Amino acid sequence: MKNKRKEEKQTEFGQNISVKNAELWYGDFKALKNVSIEIPERKITAFIGPSGCGKSTFLKCFNRMNNLVEGCRITGEFRIGDVDIYGKTDVNLLRRNVGMVFQKPNPFPMSVYDNVAYGPRTLGIKKHAELDEIVEKSLRGASMWEELKDRLGKSALGLSGGQQQRLCIARALAANPKILLMDEPTSALDPISTGKIEELAEELKKEITIVIVTHNMQQATRIADETAFFLLGELIEYGDTEKVFSAPADKRTENYITGRFG
């Protein structure tokens, strides 16, 4: 009984992220250099910076996706709420609480319904009524229920790119995560689909914490509460989005956001 209680306590993930002195190597290449950051709960935090600056690498540390990369080594402290995610944390449990949406939509080659129900089924939920409820709630959460409720049995691969990406968000929501990571989720989408994803993110932050990597600085100014600027593996500046863009404290931030490089 004691062990069970201890395990339950261990798995109480919060919605804020705290990182101290993070460093990451791919083999001999140092991709992150002494990064420390406090990401608030139920806000949208954007990571900006030129290609190869470490922002996506850093994002993937929060659900330990970098574990899958051979030769990757990470030091420092990463906490979600009070949980040390590089301690004795169950990685599957971590990824259930920290969902991820990738740059390119990646729906499974199965029906819309089965895409959303996939995660709950792997968690042992088998009852049709329960799955129906989760699928509807998740699709509503991704603002897709009305447009897909009559197409639940159709292949997800028949959806448009923007719909596929929102379906991937619904699939992530089905696990009821505390945090949603988004790695350039709109870079392959048209402006209308991009707008829908941005509206969705602003709605979702009422319930969950969102961290988004974006190359689109206008996107950061539109939706992010906080913005972090990365350069060559270092966190150069971090703070209120409006302040970072209107009165950057570091000359390198100013040079990047005014288009002098990047």
CATH number of the domain at 219, please: 3.40.50.300
Q: Note down pLDDT in tens along the chain; length 262 residues.
A: 444 444 444 468 999 999 999 999 999 999 999 999 999 999 999 999 999 999 999 999 999 999 889 999 999 999 999 999 999 899 999 999 999 999 999 999 999 999 999 999 998 999 999 999 999 999 999 999 999 999 999 999 999 999 999 999 999 999 999 999 999 999 989 999 999 999 999 999 999 999 999 999 999 999 999 999 999 999 999 999 999 999 999 999 999 999 887 6
Model-level pTM?
Answer: 0.92
Domain assignment present for residue 15? The answer is no
> What does the DSSP 8-state code read for residue 223?
H
Specify the pLDDT at position 2.
43
Domain assignment present for residue 73? The answer is no
Domain assignment present for residue 9? The answer is no
Cβ 49 vs Cβ 71: under 8 Å: no
- Please give the Cα distance from 1 to 53 (Å, whole number): 47
* DSSP strand pairing (83-84 vs 72-81): antiparallel
Domain assignment present for residue 129? The answer is yes
Read off the tokens for 49: 């910076």
Of the candidates 211, 214, 219, 204, the residue with the CA atom closest to the CA atom of residue 262: 214
Spell out a b/e string for 187-222, using b for 16 or more CB atoms within 10 Å of the CB, else e.
eebeeebbebbbebbeebbeebbbbbbbbbbebbbb
Of the candidates 150, 184, 168, 180, the residue with the CA atom closest to the CA atom of residue 107: 168
- Please give the Cα distance from 48 to 54 (Å, whole number): 10
- Please give the Cα distance from 195 to 243 (Å, whole number): 23
Query: DSSP labels for 155-211?
Result: BGGGS-HHHHHHHHHHHHHTT--SEEEEESTTTTS-HHHHHHHHHHHHHHTTTSEEE
- Please give the Cα distance from 139 to 115 (Å, whole number): 11
Domain assignment present for residue 71? The answer is no
Per the structure, the count of domains in the chain is 1
Cβ 229 vs Cβ 201: under 8 Å: no
Q: How many CB atoms lie within 10 A of CB 11?
A: 14
Cβ 77 vs Cβ 84: under 8 Å: yes
Domain assignment present for residue 114? The answer is yes
Domain assignment present for residue 217? The answer is yes
Residue-range definition of the domain harbouring residue 159: 40-63+87-257
Domain assignment present for residue 111? The answer is yes
Largest CA distance in the chain: 60
